[in-house]
Amino acid sequence: MVKHITCTVCPLSCDVVLELGENDEILNLTGNKCARGKNYATKEHTAPERTLTTIVKARGGIHPLLPVRTNQPIPKGMLKEGMLATSKIVVDAPVTMGDVIVENFLNLGVDLVASRDL
């Protein structure tokens, strides 16, 4: 089986081709122009991650919503759970960009942080 992954590490956007075995293991990897592309494609195939970027409700500020994000990527399969969890969060102003809104978000060892001042 062959799987194509477009690398997003740099502006080259390499088309990395993975040849997969019966158990989805990577037999061969081609198309990357640098080692970072190889690492990205391998991780994207075995354990894809994304940075969760969303909003939470805010009280007492000039805006009713505060943009937030995880300070590190989380497993892609946890994004929906993360969105549901953030829908229940309400923060009180003032908030400074970078403030930790939730420590150890979803018990993943990452923090949910403010993306702007409020």
Question: Can you give the residue ranges of every domain in the chain?
Answer: 2-46, 53-114
Q: Are 25 and 8 in contact (CB under 8 A)?
A: no
Rounded to whole angstroms, the Cα distance separating 89 from 3 reads 38
Q: Are 15 and 6 in contact (CB under 8 A)?
A: yes
Q: Are 92 and 59 in contact (CB under 8 A)?
A: yes
The token pair that represents 80 in the structure block:
């929906």
Query: Model pTM greater than 0.85?
Result: no
Return averaged pLDDT per consecutive 10 residues of the chain, 118 residues in all.
Answer: 92 93 92 92 93 97 96 96 97 97 98 97
CATH architecture type of domain 53-114: Roll (3.10)
Q: Which of 16, 69, 11, 21 is nearest to 39 (CA)?
A: 16
